[in-house]
Amino acid sequence: MIAPLSRTALRSRWTVQRLARCADELLVPEVGAGRRPGDRAVASGDAPVRVMGLVFDSPLILAAGLDRHGQLLRHGAVLGLGAVETGSHWTRAARPLHAVAHAGKRGEAGRRHLAGGSLRGALHGLSLAKPPALDWTEAGEAYWRALRAWHGSADYVVLNPGRGDPSAACFADLVAALSARCACLVRGRRLALVVKLPTPWVESDDRVSMAWRFVAAGADGLLLSAEGGVDRACGRIAELSRALGPVVGLISVGGIDSVREARARLRAGAHLVQVHRAALRSGQPGPELLAGIAALRCQG
């Protein structure tokens, strides 16, 4: 028996469908006067964001958990998205996730669809997390199985410690082991690794040394959570930006519900910002907010 979808899951599914319809409406239908099929009615920022060896068309990322299966990957350019993160997916010790497989197939299908047309899709971020029931002694192999099986359609992977956070030192060791094993992946280009730092880690007194530890372990970027600490988010971003320099990608998530807040995070030093709950807004405010944030240039 298949369990019924939760209210949040249903709302997320409806939002993804609504955004896809919005993308179709934004496509310019006329051909001529210098326009081609696939040209957008709205444009994102003029300057792309170049970080972690990748080029994001805008600083806006659709956070993991909303579009779990990557349905919006091929709509990314129209919606002004720099990337869509599929997940968060829980790694399994015994078998790969069905959801991850589904996301990989959707991403590959979307890329094949785009290859013959004028549209470009958003970059694909694959988010992996550890379920609470899995012991940390088994976590490394579980992350690796999922990463090895489903990295093919991803441009970068987010390693999320999940619920029941391990110590930062423990997770850094896991990241180092995964980074070393990623060298054997057969890819056209290196897979960028992003490590999510939960709010307690971002708020800890040793956050700078902790960030450096993850960078030394092989992280190309850090996803800084501001859940419960929105008022301090810009200060934390600025501090880490000064310490790490421009090479390490900084992504801010949590409490970004306006263009003003997104601009503040970017000016503080974030290269990219993630939106989740704000995209769930009903009616036009959701798509309009995404378009407003996408139009921001990276100020870091």
Residue 16 pLDDT grade (very low, low, confident, very high; cuts 50, 70, 90): confident
The pLDDT, as a whole number, for residue 232 is 94
Buried b (16+ CB within 10 A) or exposed e, 130-154: beeebeeeebbebbbbbbeebbbbb
Check residues 101 and 53 and name the one with the higher pLDDT.
53
pLDDT digits (tens, 9 = 90+) for 181-217: 998 998 888 899 999 999 999 999 999 999 999 999 9
Structure tokens at 75: 């709509």
Q: How would you classify residue 38: left for phi > 0, otherwise alpha for psi between -120 and 50, otherwise beta? A: left
d(CA 60, CA 44): 9
- Whether 290 and 75 have beta carbons less than 8 Å apart is answered as no
Domains defined for the chain, CATH in brackets: 7-294 (3.20.20.70)
Residue with the two structure tokens 């470009």? 120
The pLDDT, as a whole number, for residue 281 is 64
Check residues 22 and 231 and name the one with the higher pLDDT.
231
CA dihedral defined by 260, 264, 266, 272, rounded to 10 degrees? -60
Check residues 42 and 245 and name the one with the higher pLDDT.
245
Residue 160 pLDDT grade (very low, low, confident, very high; cuts 50, 70, 90): very high
The pLDDT, as a whole number, for residue 89 is 61
Residue with the two structure tokens 């006067």? 33
- Picking from 253, 239, 182, 230, the residue whose alpha carbon sits closest to that of residue 211 is 239
- Whether 79 and 61 have beta carbons less than 8 Å apart is answered as no
The pLDDT, as a whole number, for residue 31 is 37
What does the chain come to in residues? Answer: 300
The pLDDT, as a whole number, for residue 244 is 97
- Whether 73 and 121 have beta carbons less than 8 Å apart is answered as yes
Q: Using DSSP, state whether 257 is helix, strand or coil.
A: coil
What percent of the chain is modeled with pLDDT above 70? 74
Residue 25 pLDDT exceeds 80: no
Angle (CA) 126-154-121 rounded to 5° is 105
The pLDDT, as a whole number, for residue 187 is 87
Residue 105 pLDDT exceeds 50: no
The pLDDT, as a whole number, for residue 100 is 41
Residue 240 pLDDT exceeds 80: yes
Structure tokens at 214: 């993850």
d(CA 174, CA 172): 5
